[in-house]
């Protein structure tokens, strides 16, 4: 737990927490104005509130509508003429280890890390392994590389979108297997793609994988839970992440070297 702030000075209500976080991020982006500021690819906000404060912090950063918080940060970057790349990543991380270089807030259980190049977590390979832990896919194990392109995930192999186009799911959970978990997977549930600038795989919810239609969650290796609520924001996959699709079907993500050691 953080020990670098005065607990008596912490903001306690949702509005005050949000305002303090925005001011904290704004100050750090202001410091990055010019120079290398325009090369920021990834902004990670680390939050470690006490259990009784967590809901207030989740509400403050808009965990139900993460795109709004990212848009607010984008406006701040625009104010300081920091030309963020179109695909920059905004991550809000609860109760996860932070880099040593993270900048700690003085009066809140928060820290910020601005990165211009997110490295592959395993440090050894860009080949990823996706293992089916629950549900019944066409294969029990999938190996993908940056050259694979978008890895579409959904119910059935070849499906037609609402616009009339066809999509081929790379990881398909057939609807005729009788497996109960497969029933709760959307035909266009999610996709994974390699981000060359960030050097990592990103998980995105597709139209069928966001409320109110369905859901997609990630249980991180350290036990945290990330809910994907918007199609525009990707989650950077880390070794050991479990991807929950719908109600039961689960994939486990690893880089090739990590999978061999697990």
Let me know whether 103 and 65 are in one domain.
yes
Summarize pLDDT for 198-216 with one digit per residue, the tens: 678 989 989 888 877 668 8
d(CA 216, CA 25): 28
Residue ending a domain, among 115, 142, 174, is 115
> Are 21 and 135 within one domain?
no
Model's pTM, two decimal places? 0.58
pLDDT in tens, 162-197: 777 889 999 999 999 889 999 899 999 999 998 876
Q: Is 122 part of any domain?
A: no
Closest CA to 82 of 45, 47, 116: 116
Same domain as 148, residue 179: yes
- % of the chain exceeding 70 in pLDDT: 84
Q: Is 69 or 84 the better-scoring residue by pLDDT?
A: 69
Domain assignment present for residue 2? The answer is no
Where a domain ends, among 86, 115, 144? 115
Q: Same domain for 33 and 156?
A: no
Residues 95 and 194 in one domain: no
* Residue appearing with tokens 């994907």: 228
Instruction: Give me the domain span that covers residue 78.
Output: 7-115
pLDDT tens digits along 79-138: 777 777 777 888 888 877 777 678 888 888 999 887 764 444 444 468 999 999 999 999
- The closest alpha carbon to 95, from 53, 130, 40, 142, belongs to 53
Task: Give per-residue burial for 164-201: e unless 16+ CB within 10 Å, then b.
Answer: eeebebbbbbeeeeebebbbbbbbbbbbbbbbeebebb
């Amino acid at each position: 737990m953080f020990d670098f702030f005065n607990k008596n000075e912490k903001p306690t209500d949702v509005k005050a927490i949000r305002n303090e976080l925005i001011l904290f991020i704004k100050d750090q982006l202001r410091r990055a104005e010019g120079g290398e500021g325009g090369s920021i690819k990834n902004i990670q906000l680390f939050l470690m509130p006490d259990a009784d404060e967590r809901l207030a912090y989740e509400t403050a950063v808009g965990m139900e509508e993460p795109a709004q918080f990212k848009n607010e940060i984008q406006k701040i970057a625009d104010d300081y003429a920091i030309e963020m790349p179109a695909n920059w990543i905004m991550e809000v991380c609860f109760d996860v280890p932070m880099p040593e270089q993270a900048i700690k807030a003085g009066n809140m259980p928060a820290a910020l890390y601005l990165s211009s190049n997110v490295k592959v977590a395993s440090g050894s390979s860009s080949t990823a392994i996706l293992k089916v832990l629950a549900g019944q896919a066409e294969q029990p194990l999938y190996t993908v590389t940056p050259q694979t392109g978008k890895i579409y995930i959904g119910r059935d192999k070849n499906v037609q979108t609402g616009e009339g186009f066809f999509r081929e799911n790379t990881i398909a959970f057939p609807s005729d297997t009788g497996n109960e978990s497969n029933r709760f997977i959307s035909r266009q549930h999610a996709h994974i793609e390699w981000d060359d600038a960030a050097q990592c795989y990103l998980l995105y919810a597709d139209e069928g994988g966001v409320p109110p239609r369905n859901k997609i969650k990630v249980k991180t290796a350290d036990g945290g839970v990330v809910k994907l609520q918007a199609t525009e924001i990707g989650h950077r996959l880390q070794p050991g992440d479990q991807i929950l699709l719908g109600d039961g079907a689960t994939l486990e993500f690893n880089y090739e070297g990590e999978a061999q050691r697990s």
